[in-house]
Amino acid sequence: MKSGLLKNVHPEKRFEQVYDYILERIRRGEWKEHEKLPSIRMLAAEFGVHRLTVFKAYQLLKQENKVYVRDKSGYYVQPGSLLSPAAQQDPIVSAYVHESHLSEIHQVEAAYQFSKALLDPNLLPNRYFSEYVKNVFDLYPKVLGTYSTTQGDLELREALTRYFTKRYRFDLTHDEVLITSGSQEAIDLIARVLVRPRDSVLIDRPTYSPAIDVFRRQGAHLVPIGIGPDGYRLDQVEELMKKHKPRLFYLNPTFQNPTGYTVPAEQRKRLADLAAEYRCLLIEDDPCPDIYFGHEPPLPFFAYDTAGMTIYIRSFSKYVAPGLSIAMVACRPGLMSYLVKAKSLSDSGTPLLNQKIFLHYFFSERMQRHLEKLRTALAIRKDVMEEELAGTGWEWKSPEGGFNLWIKLPESTPMERLLVTSREQSISFVPGSICDPLRELKTWIRLSYSFLNEQQLREGLRRFAGIYRELTTGSNEG
Amino acid sequence: MKSGLLKNVHPEKRFEQVYDYILERIRRGEWKEHEKLPSIRMLAAEFGVHRLTVFKAYQLLKQENKVYVRDKSGYYVQPGSLLSPAAQQDPIVSAYVHESHLSEIHQVEAAYQFSKALLDPNLLPNRYFSEYVKNVFDLYPKVLGTYSTTQGDLELREALTRYFTKRYRFDLTHDEVLITSGSQEAIDLIARVLVRPRDSVLIDRPTYSPAIDVFRRQGAHLVPIGIGPDGYRLDQVEELMKKHKPRLFYLNPTFQNPTGYTVPAEQRKRLADLAAEYRCLLIEDDPCPDIYFGHEPPLPFFAYDTAGMTIYIRSFSKYVAPGLSIAMVACRPGLMSYLVKAKSLSDSGTPLLNQKIFLHYFFSERMQRHLEKLRTALAIRKDVMEEELAGTGWEWKSPEGGFNLWIKLPESTPMERLLVTSREQSISFVPGSICDPLRELKTWIRLSYSFLNEQQLREGLRRFAGIYRELTTGSNEG
């Protein structure tokens, strides 16, 4: 079955992957406290590696107190390991130090939320919402008494089909559209349907942090691919596809989260071809193509893909209506049938009310006009943030859209103390390591300019820069 | 690790479990077409059984065309196996014949929906809904612009805590309450957090069909326990707990789906004690305690449990507002932290709008008064159904609450033809095998009286009884 799985992998990586494999199963609780672990012989056979490689992995785990040895009978799971409830109690600190999850950072109350890549609710046309909702109840008086179908409301799927065909040149029918409860559900469904333990998954580095968690939970072997201001190095992408035969490539090519980078149009066509050649599905997560500050971004991959290898995820939560949690998935019918089946077991359909409100709100002229205002407001906030940080000496590429600045701090930055001290002073931000499948990038941070107004931005950033100065001057002096 | 797993299992069961294990992995696509399967030696070692046992399992799978042999190199997955998209195209027929899913039956349009255990939308106070919604927008003008926390809106969790403390004598704090997008999500989260492949799960027989699918997908070994008009045989429950050491017991003790049976109060306390003794979590699914026709049902298990072994799932979809998809999970903090974490990766929180509407609607005096009308309306519909079926000779126990009649047809019933012919004449019902973890109970059916009004019920049931007579007379004559 899995024999020879690591045959093509560079020798020093094999050790690492066996180590990861064991640790991940302990972390997920599949192998429980005091449970006997697989023998060296068995793992060596399963991975197709030398027994010494497995032995070394166990030795390191033993050193790290993750496993223990009982007489000569083998290795056992050390109790008090990673998934203990206690370790989860102090989310923010333990999150950064041990295992990082964006949702835990968001649980922390802070006056200056630079960690939330969300729209400030004050920027939404809130007073018009209730009108649309009243319309919805007039049009569908029994909407609260009715379940949606699993795939989603037909009227909404038809409207989305028209919209994406016209605006983004998608070749699409309403049968190829699924409505999900936000993009998080979409990523989760895709991972559950497509990824089996030890499948390789190509993933941006850095990337959207919860995607890392979802694919990891599914047991995937994550293969990171660097994304830069000019997109990917395509020779590198091809090499990784050839070497790892990834099941899928999770990417976020337009105003990428966290970097803000956009993959140029000319790369999109070639990447779609590569995906077809190597039978690697492209999972295109596209949460904010409308939030551009200069030119419109290139068309989504889905529009370039003629081989049906792209699954397109479009969230409408980020800047249309977070409180509705509506997202769309577009893909070809073969894949769609699996996704619909998986969804029927995980939530039996996104609430009909939310779909109907979204339908009447999003496609209204008022909303479409409102997008223009939104772009202006966010461009101003971005400018304010860049202005405030101009004197710090930190480095970033000014984004052409989206919600974030992806900033490189000096190598000497005491990141953990910066995180803890900021938190004490009611400031939150996202440490770069959370966005990195390799958990490195320890001197990068993501600051969002979307959630706070100009005044709050200025005030919070001055405080934040002050904390930084104090910590680094202090450490220089100390 | 898993060595000796089956040591305590009766010998003839070992074969079956090895067989199930292999088949399940093929079914889930973990072992793909033409992939080499684990060797007999390896599986024998892993399960701690004799190699002959594994050999026999492979031989049966070969006979059934699930695997094939290549020269002498071992067993391989036969292509065209269970999960092929083609097999999913004609849901209703292939569903019954091959693999059955309730969601597929619900996809079929029918004029006489006896398969939907849902409330007729006309029985809900629809014209009052929009008032509540307007209130919600007045009270929380930014509700559509705001994400909920993962655990759920605090105001709603507090209100539910008060309600369950007062009405059901729960010992509960708002930290022990999670809001989910319907009970389906709750079951799925619980399965993902608690069940590992090959864990034993006790489950009612018959039971709520999607729960079977969820636990099976998680790789659980399902251990069925019969439920009768008087509840369980407790000696049998204890024996199964002792023998299988189940991780959890999924049960639906109040107006059980599909049977309508209720576990009596005196059994509840003793079952809670058994669960504590054998460290078996009780997953109590409670979708309709308010829908009683005579006396109120006993208190939920959660109220009897002093050891913290119960996870209580209360759906509000069935009879309050299907279009909102709101459910609640109550459990102790240790378990709660895992559930919240799992939810953060699967949908990042139930939409806030739905939670706020539910809050103001469910706790209103009008809704609480409306429940009384609902009980009367459903009692009448149940009587109509029983009246119409009185002459058929079919057998059922008259339910004291809920939405369904669980009916035993004569042994000679040609069930598959009944299903297909009914479908052709626009009548849907649920075949009993779908509700059975063993996929037997082939002469039972579930008919719901909740979705159609009296006239539709009479008309549809006359047609249905007519189809039955025709089929059985035809087959007697033929």
Name the residue ranges covered by the structural domains of chain A: 11-77, 88-123+369-477, 126-366
The structural architecture, per CATH, of the domain A11-77 is Orthogonal Bundle (1.10)
Q: Is A242 on the interface with B (CB under 8 A)?
A: no
Q: Using a CB–CB cutoff of 8 Å, tell me whether A265 touches chain B.
A: no
A1 interface with B at CB cutoff 8 Å: yes
Task: Determine the residue of chain A that is closest to B361 in CA distance.
Answer: A144
Contact A180, A317 (CB under 8 A): no
Distance CA A305, CA A392 (A): 43
Nearest to A114 by CA among A391, A405, A363, A336: A405
Interchain contact, A323 vs B351, CB within 8 Å? yes
pLDDT computed for residue A476 by the predictor = 42
Nearest-by-Cβ selection for B88 from A107, A322, A337: A337
CA distances from A338 to A306, A332, A427, B334 (A): 21, 11, 42, 34
CA distance A213 to chain B (A): 7
Kind of pairing between the strands at A112-113 and A427-428: parallel
Q: Which residues on adjacent β-strands are paired with residue B61? A: none
pLDDT digits (tens, 9 = 90+) for B4-61: 344 444 555 677 778 877 887 787 667 888 888 988 888 887 777 888 888 888 888 8
Q: Does the CB of A349 have a partner CB in chain B at under 8 Å?
A: yes
Give B 318-337 residues with CB within 8 A of chain A.
321-325, 333-334, 337
Interface-testing mutation among B99, B208, B337, B345, with chain A (most A C-beta atoms within 10 A): B345
DSSP-derived pairing of the beta strands A444-448 and A200-205: unpaired
B92/B102 Cα distance (integer angstroms) = 9
Q: What is the pLDDT averaged over residues B75-96?
A: 47
Cα angle at B60 between B57 and B61, to 5 degrees? 85
DSSP A292: B
Closest residue of chain A to B85, computed from CA coordinates: A334
Q: Which residues contact B235 (CB under 8 A, 6 or more apart)?
A: none
Interface check B347 vs A, CB under 8 A: yes
The two structure tokens encoding residue B189: 């989260």
Record the tokens describing residue A254, joined without a space.
Answer: 């337009």
Question: A143 to chain B: which residues are within 8 Å by CB?
Answer: 129, 323
Separation of alpha carbons B276 and B193, rounded Å: 19
Please give, rounded to a whole number of angstroms, the shortest distance from the CA of B341 to a CA of chain A.
Answer: 8
Q: Do A351 and B354 touch (CB under 8 A)?
A: yes
A424: Cβ contacts below 8 Å, ≥ 6 apart: none
Cross-chain residue pair B124–A142, CB shorter than 8 Å = yes
DSSP state of A128: H
Q: Are strands B327-330 and B177-180 parallel, antiparallel or unpaired?
A: antiparallel
ipTM: 0.77
- What is the rounded radius of gyration, in angstroms, for the C-alpha atoms of chain A? 24
Q: Say how far apart CA A53 and CA A73 lie, in whole Å.
A: 19
Of the candidates B46, B346, B357, the beta carbon closest to that of A346 is on B346
Is A352 in Cβ contact with B323 (below 8 Å)? yes
Residues of chain B contacting residue A133, judged by C-beta atoms under 8 Å apart: 130, 133-134, 137
d(CA B163, CA B144): 26
- A380: which 2 tokens? 């101003």
Nearest to A200 by CA among A224, A226, A220: A220
Tell me which residue in B119, B322, B347 faces A184 most closely, judged by beta carbons: B347
Q: Is A30 an interface residue toward B (CB < 8 Å)?
A: yes
- Mean pLDDT, residues B402-423: 95
The pLDDT score that the predictor gives to residue A101 is: 63
Could you tell me if B107 lies within 8 Å of chain A, comparing CB atoms?
yes
- List chain B residues with CB under 8 Å of A101: 341, 344
- Whole-number pLDDT of residue A12: 59
Integer Cα distance of B205 and B438 in angstroms: 8
A147 close contact with B: CB closer than 8 A: yes
* Burial state string for B420-434 with b = 16 or more CB within 10 A and e = fewer than 16: ebbbeeebbbbbbbb
- In order along its 478 residues, chain A shows pLDDT tens digits of 333 344 444 555 677 778 877 887 787 667 888 888 988 888 887 777 888 888 888 888 887 788 988 877 789 888 764 443 333 333 332 223 334 466 666 666 789 999 988 889 899 888 777 778 888 888 998 888 888 899 999 999 999 999 999 999 999 999 999 999 999 999 999 999 998 877 899 999 999 999 999 999 888 999 999 999 999 999 999 999 999 999 999 999 999 999 999 999 999 999 999 999 999 999 999 999 999 999 999 999 999 999 999 999 999 988 888 889 999 999 999 899 999 999 998 887 899 999 999 999 899 888 888 899 999 999 999 999 999 999 999 999 999 999 999 999 999 999 999 999 999 999 999 999 999 999 899 999 999 999 999 999 999 999 999 999 999 986 444 3
Q: Residue window 383-412, chain B: list those with CB within 8 Å of chain A.
A: none
| Helices of type H across A390-441 | 415-424
- Supply the pLDDT for residue A387: 97
Q: Which two tokens stand for residue B235?
A: 């000696």
Whole-number Å distance between alpha carbons of B258 and B263: 14
Handedness of CA B170, B173, B176, B181 (dihedral sign): positive
Nearest by CB to residue B345, choosing from A217, A347, A350, is A217
Nearest by CB to A188, from B42, B134, B345: name it. Answer: B345
Task: Select the more confidently predicted residue: B71 or B153.
Answer: B153
Maximum alpha-carbon separation in chain B:
74
Number of A/B CB contacts below 8 angstroms equals: 211
Residue B91's pLDDT band, with cuts at 50, 70 and 90, is very low
* Smallest CA–CA distance from B210 into chain A, residue: A345
B321 to A35: CB separation less than 8 angstroms, yes or no: no
- The b/e string for A94-131 (b: 16+ C-beta within 10 A; e otherwise) is ebbeebbbbbbbbbeebebbbbbbbbbbebbbbeebbe
Q: Say which amino acid occupies B189.
A: L
Cα three-residue angle B44-B47-B52, rounded to 5 degrees = 35
- Whether A124 contacts chain B with CB within 8 A: yes
Which residue's entry shows tokens 């890392």? A212
**A144 contacts in chain B (CB < 8 Å):** 124, 126, 129, 321-324, 357
* B106 to chain A: closest CA residue: A149
Mean pLDDT value across chain B: 87
A326-to-A183, A332, B348, B351, B409 alpha-carbon distances in Å: 8, 20, 12, 9, 44
- Angle, nearest 10°, between helix axes B454-477 and B415-424? 130
Provide CATH code, domain A88-123+369-477. Answer: 3.90.1150.10
Residues of B with Cβ-Cβ distance to A348 under 8 angstroms: 103, 182, 184, 210, 325
Cα separation values, A381 from A16, A122, A401, B24, Å: 43, 13, 12, 53
Any CB–CB contact under 8 A between B84 and chain A?
Answer: no
pLDDT above 50 for B84: no
Bridging pattern class, strands B327-330 and B281-285: unpaired
> Residue B82 is encoded by which pair of tokens?
């269970």
Is any Cβ of chain B less than 8 angstroms from the Cβ of A31?
Answer: yes
Q: Do B338 and A85 touch (CB under 8 A)?
A: yes
DSSP H helical ranges for B229-364: 234-244, 265-277, 301-304, 333-346, 352-362
**Hey, what CATH class is B126-366 in?**
alpha beta
Residues in chain B: 478
Q: Which chain A residues are Cβ-neighbours of B156 within 8 angstroms?
A: none
Interface check A308 vs B, CB under 8 A: no
With contacts defined as CB-CB under 8 Å, which chain A residues touch B197?
30
Nearest to A144 among B46, B144, B323 (CB): B323
